[in-house]
Chains A and B, each alone.
Chain A
Amino acid sequence: MKAAPWIAGLAGLLLAGAASAGTPDGATIARQGNGRGVAPCAACHNADGGGQPAAGFPRLAGLPSAYLLKQLDDFAHGTRRNATMQPVAAGLSQDERAALAAYYSKLPVPAMSTTPVTDPRQEALGERLATRGRWSHGLPGCGQCHGPGGVGVGGHFPPLAGQSAVYIANQLHAWQKGMRRNDPLQLMQAVAGKLDEADIAAVSAWYAAQPVAGGQQP
């Protein structure tokens, strides 16, 4: 196949041409918005994709592309409800959502400060729920799906480490209240329904205290 390099080169040129003509660029949308009313993602999720912990804006950097794309789709379709994100996702084209999911999944995980848990009883409860669950109530440990230390598993179980306590608690409440019902097999709705307020506070604080290796390539 002597012609192969030549053909590949031509194909590359054609693809590059197509990219400049119409394929959306995730980095550009993240920094500048999409020019059709969608604000830059970085305004809330930070330039490095690390989010704003205190405000509950989640880290996006290094999350699985499939997970990010599903969330954008689900915001657009209303199975994940959020006053800020629903219009944003609905204002993005399908190609733009895919480009953003790919862009953020490839961003290195930023160095993040963790917040230690100060109350040892709360820390013990959080660790217990995260690692062991409460099977007397049919509750699995978070890590049984989200992986050891909440590092995330595959495209369906996102990392919990490197997310803030505010964000994690907000999501657990959203699962409980039905504001979020885009979980496969209703796994999270089942889990969240077995947690009380003290549980949510403890497990959220525990994950926010877990170390995340900054600069880690996803």
Chain B
Amino acid sequence: MTPVFAKPGRQLAAASVLLMLLAGCGRDGQPAPPAAPVSAASAAASASSSTRQAKAAPKAIAFTPPPDSAIPDDDFGKQVELGRKIFLEPDKYAAAWVGNHLSCENCHLDAGRLANAAPMWGAWPMYPAYRSKNRHVNTFAERLQGCFRFSMNGKAPPAGDPVLVALESYAYWLSQGAPVGKALPGRGYPKLPRPAQAPDYARGETVFKRDCALCHGADGQGQRVAGRTVFPPLWGPGSFNWGAGMHQVNNAAGFIKANMPLGRGDTLSDQDAWDVAYFMDAHERPQDPRYEGSVQATRAKYHDTPQSLYGTVVNGTLLGQGTGTAR
């Protein structure tokens, strides 16, 4: 632990310590120090109005995936490394299958390693699994196909495609030592308690302008530099489509609460996270590829949940009409 955490008055120290706990404390791959500063973590939990932190603060230290330097130097390791590259730059290494310039890492932080940012080690050991999204048992490969089709607004690589083989290898390798079938603390995004006030567009817009527009732009379209997406577009033709998990307000709220603004996760209030998630998800984005001929029919079949704004009217506009695509 670096001494700066002990500095008085550093506002972020408590939150940082909590994040360290969730993420497993060690620097990449090194074992976490056993004497975890539990008092600091409970201070963070009580200092925050959120009850989630108190509930979610794991008793056991979250799983720590192996460091990149441990990728084996053999044929298997080559697939792991390729998977890591695809994960970071899918528009470069899996260009045939993506329809935008997002990166897996935009939602799965630290190349799929970070707790509470839907880490691969929290997902891989939980498949095959029944998913209500498509009402059958999905293999991990099918789950990956969903990412391409929805989050990447592209096409699903067929089973056995080299892109899937590499990504499966990477996720499997990151999960070395994780128990199969056990939901580890830090998997997925945190489930926030229901907000005191129903999520609200106008309040969300205020949060967006205050805490998000700096990076994602006042228009939410992100920023690209030197051919790379630095800050991803949050809606519009270059963003994930209406079929992606992030279009559901609860998923987005959990992600935002734990991870945004980048490097300052767990600083927004739960209410702010809900409101700004609602604001983001109340914008138009590319059509759900499962479109059933009408917005109403598509909502009835795939979006029949209060967490989806697809097919609802917000500020006088029917959402779910879709946009063009970015590429």
Q: Is the CB of B26 within 8 A of A149?
A: no
| Assembly CA distance A167 to B278 (angstroms) | 41
- Find the A residue at minimum CB distance from B214: A184
A147 within 8 A of B: yes
| Assembly CA distance A149 to B28 (angstroms) | 22
Selected interface stretch from A12-20, A55-63, A109-117, A189-197: A189-197
| Assembly CA distance A186 to B226 (angstroms) | 26
Collect the chain B residues with CB atoms within 8 Å of residue A189's CB. Answer: 12
| Assembly CA distance A135 to B26 (angstroms) | 10
- Find the B residue at minimum CB distance from A147: B225
Q: Is the CB of A153 within 8 A of B214?
A: no
| Assembly CA distance A154 to B215 (angstroms) | 9
Q: B230 is contacted by which of A153, A185, A194 (Cβ under 8 Å)?
A: A153
Collect the chain A residues with CB atoms within 8 Å of residue B28's CB. Answer: 128, 134, 136
Q: Is the CB of B2 within 8 A of A196?
A: yes
B194-253 with Cβ < 8 A to chain A:
211, 214-215, 223, 225-226, 228, 230-231
| Assembly CA distance A196 to B214 (angstroms) | 27
B114 within 8 A of A: yes
* Total number of residue pairs linking A and B with CB closer than 8 Å: 94
B265 within 8 A of A: yes
Collect the chain A residues with CB atoms within 8 Å of residue B90's CB. Answer: none
Collect the chain B residues with CB atoms within 8 Å of residue A187's CB. Answer: 261-264
Smallest CB separation, B44 vs chain A (Å): 12
A176 within 8 A of B: yes
B1-19 with Cβ < 8 A to chain A:
2-5, 7, 10-13, 15-16, 19
Smallest CB separation, B159 vs chain A (Å): 31
- We find that the number of chain B residues with CB closer than 8 angstroms to chain A is 39
A143-180 with Cβ < 8 A to chain B:
143-145, 147-149, 151-154, 156, 176
Smallest CB separation, A100 vs chain B (Å): 24
A39 within 8 A of B: no
Contact digits for B110-139, partner A, Cβ 8 Å, 1 yes 0 no: 110110000000000000000000000000
Q: Is the CB of B13 within 8 A of A149?
A: no
Q: A191 is contacted by which of B24, B214, B215, B263 (Cβ under 8 Å)?
A: B263
Q: Is the CB of A133 within 8 A of B12?
A: no
Q: Is the CB of B261 within 8 A of A151?
A: no
If A134-B27, A138-B16, A138-B19 touch, does A194 touch B4 (CB 8 Å cutoff)? yes
If A144-B230, A149-B226, A193-B12 touch, does A138 touch B263 (CB 8 Å cutoff)? yes
Q: Is the CB of A138 within 8 A of B23?
A: yes
Collect the chain A residues with CB atoms within 8 Å of residue B226's CB. Answer: 147-149, 151
Q: Is the CB of A193 within 8 A of B225?
A: no
Q: Is the CB of B261 within 8 A of A136?
A: no
Collect the chain A residues with CB atoms within 8 Å of residue B40's CB. Answer: none
A108 within 8 A of B: no
B171 within 8 A of A: no
Collect the chain A residues with CB atoms within 8 Å of residue B4's CB. Answer: 176, 193-196
B20 within 8 A of A: yes
Collect the chain A residues with CB atoms within 8 Å of residue B111's CB. Answer: 132
B25 within 8 A of A: yes
Q: Is the CB of A145 within 8 A of B262?
A: yes
Q: Is the CB of B110 within 8 A of A133?
A: yes
B109 within 8 A of A: yes
| Assembly CA distance A128 to B10 (angstroms) | 25
- Find the A residue at minimum CB distance from B25: A136
| Assembly CA distance A189 to B7 (angstroms) | 13
A36 within 8 A of B: no
Q: What 7 additional pairs, Cβ within 8 angstroms, besides A135-B110, A136-B27, A145-B230?
A: A138-B23, A149-B226, A186-B12, A186-B264, A190-B12, A193-B13, A194-B2
**Residues of A that sit less than 8 Å from B by CB:** 128, 132-140, 143-145, 147-149, 151-154, 156, 176, 184-187, 189-191, 193-196
Instruction: Identify 23 residue pairs between A and B in the complex whose beta-carbon atoms are under 8 Å apart, listed by A's number.
Output: A135-B109, A135-B110, A136-B24, A136-B25, A136-B26, A136-B27, A137-B20, A145-B262, A147-B226, A149-B226, A151-B225, A153-B223, A153-B225, A156-B215, A176-B4, A186-B264, A190-B12, A190-B264, A193-B7, A193-B12, A194-B16, A195-B2, A195-B4
